[in-house]
Structure 1
Amino acid sequence: MSKIKSTSTRYMVLSELFRSKGAIIGFSIVILVSILSVYAVIVYPPSVVTRIWSDPEYWRDKPVLALPEWYSSLFGLNLPPNIVLDTRKQDSRILKYTVSLNEYTEHEITFTFDYDYDAFPSEINAYVYAKFKKNPLITITFIRPDGREINLWSGTITQNESFIILSNSPIAKKNVQEYLFNTFGEYVSDPTTEVVLFAVEKRGMDKPNTAEVLKSAGKSYKIKIRGTFFEKDSSLDVKLIIYGKIWGLLGTDDRRRDLLIPLMWGAPIALSFGISLSVITSLLHMFLGS
């Protein structure tokens, strides 16, 4: 008899629970937070989060202050994602060849890509992975779909793994200023490099609020990287990143970090806080009720 009564009581409680929309929503949130908490601990354990969260090298491939990927679709925008081209991986958009002559070796890499988005990239950077003993000379040329070529960067590298900033590099900015002066006969003091590279050639192409994106429309962009090495035993690989405006489920912060991680780690904290508060409240009711 007691078992029947207990079963009937549980049934009534559950029946009453699922009649209330607020209770259903609350119960669903608890289940969701619980699942998210378990997932966060498994995928991003505390030791991993502590290590990567303050490590800028881990996040360097992500765009700064990117919007979530779904934002572009939700509002009908055509925002650019990251475009990553890496010679260490098979990619039909990459052409690479090497020529050796006496004590010199020429490495040339051509990256070909389309750009049909409505917004400009946020940055352009290149990661160079090279093998050498004598510092090689690296030159980077940007070729637009309209046929215009811009000698973007040139210089020597001193480390086997080098990071070449193309957007804010003084060398790149100076070359862009020269391109604008030769085209329009005017000196521009502070052009935005990535905007000029991807803009329709007209006055005002140096600023994002006045420039118009030059879309591929069947004609691709190209970036040529040539390395002159003063030895036979050498190699050159490059990872080129054209940073977009959208990334991931929740976007990134000003340090390129994935904002999904703090959200996931907020779930177990919120869950533990909620459970602790519920236990304390129950104990207080029991104590005061007695």
Structure 2
Amino acid sequence: MARKQREFRILGMTPSEIVREFFSSGTGKVAAALFIVLIVVSVYALVTLPPNFARVWNNPKYWQLNPQYAPPAWIDSIMGPVYSPQIYVNDYTFTVQHQDGVTYITVTFNVNYEYDKPWNEIFIVINNPAIYSMSQPPVVSITIYRPDGSKITLGPLPINTRVTTLGVSPEVVSQVNLFYSEEYHISDVVPTGSSATPYLFYTVDDGKLVPLKGPYRFTMVFYVFSQNSSVINRKDLEIVLQGQIYGLMGTDNEGHDLWLGLLAGFPIDLAVGLLSALIIVVIAVIIGIVAGFYSGLIDEALMRLTDFVILLPAFPLLIVFSVLFGWSIWDAVIFLAIVSWGASARIIRAMIMQIRNAQYIESAVIAGASRMWILRNHILPQIIPFILYLLVTNVPGAILTLSSINFLGLAGSDTQHGVHYSTTPMSLAH
């Protein structure tokens, strides 16, 4: 008869038996659900975000339209309509007229202001360098019709850069101050060095500035002169009202979308955490099982090694070696795993020694069962849920430690070609 082919086993158990034991406990099911979530989010990040996101993240111009230090957009659903949201104006009328060698492009749109804090700034973005690079660039004049029947006229302003920031223009500041002086007899309402944009949405009540809520109509007229070969098209123009809240997680001091940053970090952080946790658990399981199951001189030697590893200052050593040897993030992962298994190995050893002294183990030995049979049928099924627990709990610890090293700029990585990007406005794609 043909000899039966031996099945592949890990510590005496087939892969299917290990999987079955993992899912037999509540811990295993929860851990599996957690890993599925992490994997799904990582795959989503890899699919939806572009491979050049790391370079984009470090480009301040990419984020210049976003507010700085903005809280997340959902905060208004809790506090009410307090903060103005970021608005990318897409619904506007666009008409073109030619007269006496000048092209007049009129853009009209409406916004409804219903918040306690107005927009920080208004940006006019032209995504065609041929337009704003001309020797005589276009100019824009803006008329704002307010809910109380008054109007503010701003400009004309030259369109000589890709992004024109409306409120910081000295001419606009002067015109807004003039409006408040003539309408409400208040001078210098715009503080020195501040943007005039928020004051477009205020009125005066009893000598104090208060929000003027209601519908606003903006009419922008762009004047493109005859010597310009390019004319502003609808696809070239973007108008952004910079809000005070942004996205799912807000922004940092440079306007980075923190949600995109978190999403981009998922794939690499998951890989780093899993690799580190896997190495830690494999070493801890091998040391713990051998020490606890065989005892004697082997146990004594392995425990002295374990004590030495536990006493090592892992994080300071990681910093020192990263500086000395210019380690990458993957070098740091391996080092961290090699010096972090001690405590886990001791716990596994203690569990195995307790199980080994049980009466049913002694009965199995008397009956002639081999060590491997006892390990497979009586010991591993009891410690596998704990092994999974160790795997799960070591992942966030590894991510946090390695993130700290990256934050200190001590471990370079190959994530310069990282992943990212999704629901961003048209201007950010250029």
Matched position secondary structure for 1:120? coil
Q: What are the equivalent positions in structure 2 for 1:87-236 lying under 5 Å apart?
A: 91=91, 93-101=92-100, 103-128=101-126, 130=131, 134-157=136-159, 159=160, 162-188=162-188, 190-191=190-191, 193-202=196-205, 203-205=207-209, 211=210, 213-216=211-214, 220-231=215-226, 235-236=231-232
Could you say which residue in structure 2 is the equivalent of 1:64? Answer: 68
What CA distance in whole angstroms lies between the structure 1 residues aligned with 2:243 and 2:63? 14
Q: How many residues align?
A: 266
Could you say which residue in structure 2 is the equivalent of 1:245? Answer: 244
Q: Which structure has more strand as a fraction of its residues?
A: 1
CA contact (8 A) 2:96 2:103 kept: no
- CA deviations 1:198-235 (Å, max 9, x no partner) are 11333332xxxxx3x2222xxx3122222334428663
Give the CA RMSD over aligned residues: 3.2
Q: Which has the higher contact order (CA 8 A, sep 6+)?
A: 1
Structure number with larger C-alpha Rg: 2
Matched position secondary structure for 2:208? coil
CA contact (8 A) 1:97 1:109 kept: no
Q: 1:9 to 1:185 in 2, by over 3 A?
A: closer
Offset, 1:177: 1.4
Q: 1:39 to 1:243 in 2, by over 3 A?
A: same
Structure 2, unaligned stretches of length 5 or more?
1-6, 8-12, 291-430
Could you say which residue in structure 2 is the equivalent of 1:55? Answer: 59
What CA distance in whole angstroms lies between the structure 2 residues aligned with 1:266 and 1:234? 41
CA contact (8 A) 1:84 1:241 kept: yes
Q: TM-score, normalised by structure 2?
A: 0.53
What CA distance in whole angstroms lies between the structure 2 residues aligned with 1:256 and 1:69? 14
1:35 aligns with 2:31: no
**Which amino acid in 1 is paired with 2:93?**
I
Q: What are the equivalent positions in structure 2 for 1:5-20 lying under 5 Å apart?
A: 11=20, 14-15=23-24, 17-18=25-26, 20=27
**Which amino acid in 2 is paired with 1:71?**
I
Q: 1:138 to 1:262 in 2, by over 3 A?
A: closer
Greater Cα shift, 167-176 or 52-61? 52-61
What CA distance in whole angstroms lies between the structure 2 residues aligned with 1:286 and 1:138? 73
**Which amino acid in 2 is paired with 1:221?**
Y
**Which amino acid in 1 is paired with 2:196?**
T
CA contact (8 A) 2:180 2:189 kept: no
Q: Which structure has more helix as a fraction of its residues?
A: 2
**Which amino acid in 2 is paired with 1:98?**
Q
Could you say which residue in structure 1 is the equivalent of 2:88? Answer: 84
- CA deviations 1:139-196 (Å, max 9, x no partner) are 2222212122222232334x4x542211222221121111222233332264452221
What CA distance in whole angstroms lies between the structure 1 residues aligned with 2:139 and 2:244? 32
Q: 1:44 to 1:135 in 2, by over 3 A?
A: closer
**Which amino acid in 2 is paired with 1:155?**
L
What CA distance in whole angstroms lies between the structure 1 residues aligned with 2:20 and 2:102? 84
